[in-house]
């Protein structure tokens, strides 16, 4: 019995080794699991379910093979693929979850999320996030021709890279109080998230009791996952 979590794969046509690693992960480790949760930034940038990039169909088919084999797959949006919608969910067989979800896994309550909302010291990012999460702006963006959407996304990526190069490492990490607030609000002793690309298991105190915050790593040169079993919670990495 095991439930798996991954995040921050940033799949893109230009990085075939990461895609190959992910497809292999789906055929092997994920196939033997009870369920797979993808906690955002599965894709480098998502500009709409109507984007005909072949990679997207390849990934959807591989996820569908997993879900049809009886392994449920769930998705929480990241800051790169928050526009991933119902059409891709249908094609892949993934179920879309809200930005925060509490799971009961083998008797443990576990809060899961992408992790960007915990970075409350990054005022520039939170202002950007609030803007691009407005439904009317998303509807407008999705109605634009694909070539214009691609250009806007490229501008945003360039703007983000430029902004990040002048931000301190601390600002781009989670705010410790935001972590405690989120866990206390949901009455959990376990939190699993991605986004910061700083894989680690952090011990902390929540509601006066020992708690753990487990951070998934990004898939740069190897895979990263969290496995929850009746015995415990384990963060690991593996070659593609
Ligand atoms: O993504 P990453 O790791 O570089 O940094 C993130 C934060 N940045 C972002 C922006 C994304 O990278 C852009 C993704 C595009 C998705 C597809 C397009 C959908 C468009 C929908 C429109 C409705 O999330 C970064 C954080 C960092 O994580 C760590 O937490 O710091 O935040 C920023 O960089 C935000 C900046 O502070 C300000 C934003 C600059 C964007 C400039 C926009 C220019 C747009 C021009 C459009 C005409
Ligand atoms: Mn992210």
67-81, pLDDT tens digit by residue?
Answer: 999 999 999 999 999
Q: Minimum mean pLDDT among 28-37, 99-108, 160-169, 221-230: which range?
A: 160-169
Q: Which residues of 79-91 are buried (b: 16+ CB within 10 A; e: fewer)?
A: bbbbbbbeebbeb
In the reported structure, the alpha carbon of residue 126 is separated from the centroid of ligand 1 by a whole-number distance in angstroms of 10
pLDDT confidence tier of residue 64, bands split at 50, 70 and 90: very high
Supply the Cα-derived Rg of the chain in whole angstroms. Answer: 17
The number of helices, as runs of H, and strands, as runs of E, in the chain is 7, 11
Where along the chain do its domains lie? 3-238
Whole-prediction pTM value? 0.97
* pLDDT surpasses 90 at 133: yes
pLDDT confidence tier of residue 167, bands split at 50, 70 and 90: confident
Q: Number of C-alpha atoms within 13 angstroms, CB side, residue 195?
A: 24
Question: How large is the average pLDDT for residues 202-216?
Answer: 97
Which residues 6+ apart lie within 8 Å of 100 measured at CB? 111, 112, 113, 117, 182, 186
The hierarchical CATH code for the domain 3-238 is 3.60.21.10
Q: How far apart are CA 11 and CA 14, in angstroms?
A: 8
Our mutation pick for probing the ligand 1 site, out of 49, 116, 128, counting the most ligand atoms within 8 A of Cβ, is 128
In this structure, the residue with its CA closest to atom 5 of ligand 1 is: 160
Q: How far apart are CA 158 and CA 163, in angstroms?
A: 9
Q: In what order do the strands lie in the sheet with 190-193?
A: 100-105, 108-113, 190-193, 209-215, 200-206
158: Cβ below 6 Å to ligand 1?
no
Predicted pLDDT at 87: 98
CB-based neighbours (< 5 A) of ligand 2, an ion:
41, 78-79, 195
Predicted pLDDT at 168: 86
């Amino acid at each position: 019995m095991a439930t798996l979590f991954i995040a921050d794969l940033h799949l893109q046509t230009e990085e075939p080794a990461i895609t190959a690693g992910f497809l292999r992960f789906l055929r092997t480790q994920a196939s033997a699991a009870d369920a797979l949760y993808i906690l955002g930034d599965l894709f480098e940038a998502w500009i709409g379910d109507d984007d005909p990039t072949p990679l997207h169909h390849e990934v959807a088919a591989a996820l569908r093979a997993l879900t049809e084999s009886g392994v449920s797959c769930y998705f929480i949006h990241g800051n790169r693929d928050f526009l991933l919608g119902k059409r891709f969910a249908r094609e892949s067989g993934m179920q879309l979850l809200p930005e925060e979800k509490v799971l009961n896994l083998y008797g443990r309550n576990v809060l899961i999320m992408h992790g960007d909302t915990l970075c409350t010291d990054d005022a520039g990012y939170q202002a950007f996030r609030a803007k691009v999460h407005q439904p009317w702006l998303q509807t407008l963006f999705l109605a634009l021709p694909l070539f214009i959407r691609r250009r806007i996304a490229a501008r945003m990526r360039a703007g983000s890279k430029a902004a990040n190069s002048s931000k301190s490492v601390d600002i781009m990490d989670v705010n410790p109080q935001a972590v405690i607030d989120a866990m206390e609000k949901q009455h959990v002793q376990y939190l699993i998230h991605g986004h910061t690309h700083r894989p680690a298991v952090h011990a902390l105190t929540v509601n006066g009791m020992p708690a753990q915050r487990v951070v998934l790593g990004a898939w740069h040169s190897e895979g990263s996952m969290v496995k929850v079993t009746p015995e415990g919670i384990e963060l690991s990495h593996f070659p593609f």
